[in-house]
Amino acid sequence: MEHEVVEQMATLGDWIAEGGVVVLSGAGLSTDSGIPDYRGPSGSARRSTPMTYQTFTGDPVARRRYWARSHLGWRTIGEARPNDGHRAVAALQQQGAVGGIITQNVDGLHQAAGANDVVELHGNLARITCLDCGELTPREIHGRRLDEANPTFAGVALAFNADGDAELADESLDGFTVVDCESCGGLLKPDVVYFGETVPPHRVTRSFELVESARTLLVLGSSLTVMSGRRFVLRAAKLGIRVAIVNRGVTRGEPYAGLLIDAPLGIVLPHLVALPAA
């Protein structure tokens, strides 16, 4: 490992040992679990644009095709398991160094690793919500209903995206049957925030509260390209709160970072857990 990175990790270890750390995580943290990120080294190139809320609710054909792709994509996302990075964050939290966690990810892997006080900014693919009555359904139950409604569906994914949307050949999408809410017959969607949809205000408020109470904001695996996550870095910088970023490749948070480590999270984070507490 490069000498500069070793020195940076030592500095980050000192910051973490002081406590008061809030984590902001992005897709790069889950790549070692087999989930591709959006823009980093393991990112998958999309052949189609991400689903928007307006298209999902207004276009039945697009919605059917989305559900076919999402149903297949869930087979990969749902089987993903926490990696060393997730476990390290949970361990640091259990040690008292890390407080709350804000994640842009929708895979639930922080909680699966044992973390708590996790704000899921963009929701969680493991839940299905009814847009009419608001009922939440576990993805496993919804998946069984889709299997029953589509006994001959045999789509093969060409690629997977971090939001659980798989890329499929057009012929695999035709004829897929969508199921509606069992309680009210309403429209179902994954309980995640689509493009064109706003993050629920209570999640944003809670995230700002965590950031404003932090001594250090630790950004893990995020390019901070979209404002949804970058706004918390901007708030921390405005308040004079230290910002540390561990990410592979370019990040738009660089101008605000007191510490920027371009190294694999699966190496950096477990090393930090092994450091002695203050």
Task: Give catalytic residues, as residue numbers.
Answer: 122
Could you give the angle at the alpha carbon of 73 between the alpha carbons of 72 and 74, nearest 5°? 90
CA distance 29 to 189: 25
| 184 in a known ligand binding site | yes
CA distance 210 to 217: 9
Q: What are phi and psi of 13, to 5 degrees?
A: -60, -40
| 133 in a known ligand binding site | yes
| 90 in a known ligand binding site | no
Are the C-beta atoms of residues 257 and 243 closer than 8 Å to each other? yes
Are the C-beta atoms of residues 166 and 73 closer than 8 Å to each other? yes
Give the CA distances from residue 137 to residues 11, 77, 133, 182, in Å, rounded to whole numbers and listed in that order.
44, 17, 12, 10
Tokens 């576990």 sit on residue? 138
- DSSP letter for 159, please: E
Q: Name which of 174, 157, 129, 132 is nearest 71 in CA terms.
A: 157
The annotation places the binding site for Zn(2+) at: 130, 133, 181, 184
